[in-house]
Amino acid sequence: MTGKLTPPAARTRLGLEMTAAVAPNSLQLQCCEQCTTVQYPPREVCRCCLSGDLTWRAVEPAGTVMASSALHHCLDPWFEQRAPWLMGSVKLDCGPLVLAHLAAEVTAAGSPVWVFSLKDASGQAVLIAISQSLALDQAQIRAQQLILSDLQEMT
Ligand SMILES: [Zn+2]
- According to DSSP, residue 26 is labeled S
Residue 153 CA, distance from chain mean position: 20
**Predicted pLDDT of residue 154:** 40
What is the share, in percent, of the chain residues with pLDDT greater than 70?
94
Spacing, Cα 53 to ligand 1 middle (Å): 8
Name the architecture of domain 13-153. Answer: Beta Barrel (2.40)
Task: Kindly report the pTM of this predicted structure.
Answer: 0.90
Q: How far apart are CA 58 and CA 118, in angstroms?
A: 12
Report the separation in Å between the CA atom of 31 and the middle of ligand 1, taken as the mean of its atom positions. 8
DSSP 61-129: -EEEEEEEEEE---SSHHHHTT-SEEEEEEEETTS-EEEEEE-GGG-STT-EEEEEEEE-TTS-EEEEE
Give backbone dihedrals phi and psi of 66, rounded to 5 degrees, phi first: -95, -40
Beta bridge partners of 32: 54
pLDDT grade for 3, boundaries at 50, 70 and 90:
low
Rounded distance, CA 155 to CA 152, Å?
Answer: 6
pLDDT band at 155 (very low <50, low <70, confident <90, very high): very low
Q: For strands 85-92 and 62-71, give the pairing.
A: antiparallel
| Per-residue pLDDT tens over the stretch 96-148 | 999 999 998 888 999 999 999 999 989 999 999 999 999 999 999 999 998 88
Domain spans of the chain, in order of start: 13-153
**C-alpha of residue 32 to centroid of ligand 1, in Å:** 5
Q: How far is the CA of 20 from the centre of ligand 1 (A)?
A: 22
